[in-house]
Amino acid sequence: MMYFWLILGLATLVGGGEVLVRGAVGIARKFKISTLVIGMTVISFGTSAPELMVSLSSALGGHPEIAIGNVMGSNIANLALVLGVTTIIFPIIVSRNTKIIDWPIMMFATILFFVFSLDLVIAQWEGALMFAILIAFTFWIIRRSRRETKVDDGVDEHTKPMNPLICTGLLLAGLVALYFGSQWMLKGAVGIAQSFGMSERVIGLTVVAFGTSVPELVTSAIAAFKKETDISIGNLIGSNLFNIFAVIGLTAAFVPVPVSQGTLDFDMWWVLGIAILILPMMVIGKKIGRLKGAILLSTYIVYIGLLLAM
């Protein structure tokens, strides 16, 4: 039965990712917001909803290691696995805003998460502060994007504009499909992992993290295939921001989230290291190509191998 849920979840995710990208591009054109911003806000928040639900329910249910492991594993998967696979499918040309604004704020979020974890607990006030920073940043980038009306949204100018109601409907349908698809896939994947006797920490960092990152993988891959590369990179950076500032932030605001010493000594350095690795890949050369994508994917494989070998 677990394999049934796994397959059903994957199929739902693929369909949801397709309609989500269609709706997002239409909304970006209608409201004169760049697809990069749409990727960093609406899409990234929507595709990160599974992480939020899993982390909240895990922490409140007495399984905090799954909550922390889910977010950390998800952020590693987003940049190493998802970005790696996406750029292997279709190389991404990184915009100037991504280099000078989006990556720095993601790096700031990652460092702040590290600092707050040093005492082995994310306190309630720390969680509330992270969530407040996310809200302020979201409002700022939306206002900034609307002021910059002359943006290239990457949509074929010969494409007939879609009705805003239809775009909104597609966007919502895609988000709903991604949510249920991720839950079904997660149900199957966790069940299979537990049958092999994996620990909570390892399940959180691998199976749960991968399962909740599949929406980002599907959305980014489909966006890259459609040559909507701003949505691809915006989705991943925005998702990492949301994972730290909203998923950890909101979870900790409800109940303090403990961080294990093993997580701080091993996993946190991988989160920081991969986030730093992205910068030279964006700056050197005109795009993140297939070779860089292969390096990222290899990094993820090495991380998972070391984790399972511990």
Average pLDDT over the chain, rounded to an integer? 79
User: Alpha-carbon distance 301 to 303, whole Å?
Assistant: 5
Per-residue pLDDT at 155:
43
pLDDT tens digit sequence for 52-61: 766 676 677 6
pLDDT tens digit sequence for 75-119: 998 899 889 988 888 888 887 878 888 899 999 999 999 999 999
pLDDT tens digit sequence for 220-235: 777 777 776 666 677 7
pLDDT surpassing 70 at residue 304: yes
* Residue 129 burial class via C-beta count within 10 angstroms: exposed 0-12, middle 13-18, buried 19 and up: middle
Integer angstrom CA distances of residue 28 from 142, 269, 300: 11, 36, 32
pLDDT surpassing 60 at residue 154: no
Q: How many CA atoms lie within 13 A of 49 on its CB side?
A: 18
pLDDT tens digit sequence for 246-270: 889 988 888 888 888 888 899 899 9
CATH number of residue 178's parent domain: 1.20.1420.30
Per-residue pLDDT at 175:
75
Confidence of residue 152 (pLDDT cuts 50, 70, 90): very low
**Which domain does 228 fall in, by range?**
2-309
Confidence of residue 292 (pLDDT cuts 50, 70, 90): very high
Work out the average pLDDT over 63-73: 75
Per-residue pLDDT at 270:
94
The count of domains in the chain is 1
Residue at token pair 């992205």: 278
Per-residue pLDDT at 133:
94
Work out the average pLDDT over 32-39: 69
* Residue 296 burial class via C-beta count within 10 angstroms: exposed 0-12, middle 13-18, buried 19 and up: buried
Residue at token pair 């993820």: 300
Q: Which residue has the higher pLDDT, 79 or 202?
A: 79
Strand partners of residue 288: 92
Per-residue pLDDT at 82:
86
Confidence of residue 281 (pLDDT cuts 50, 70, 90): very high
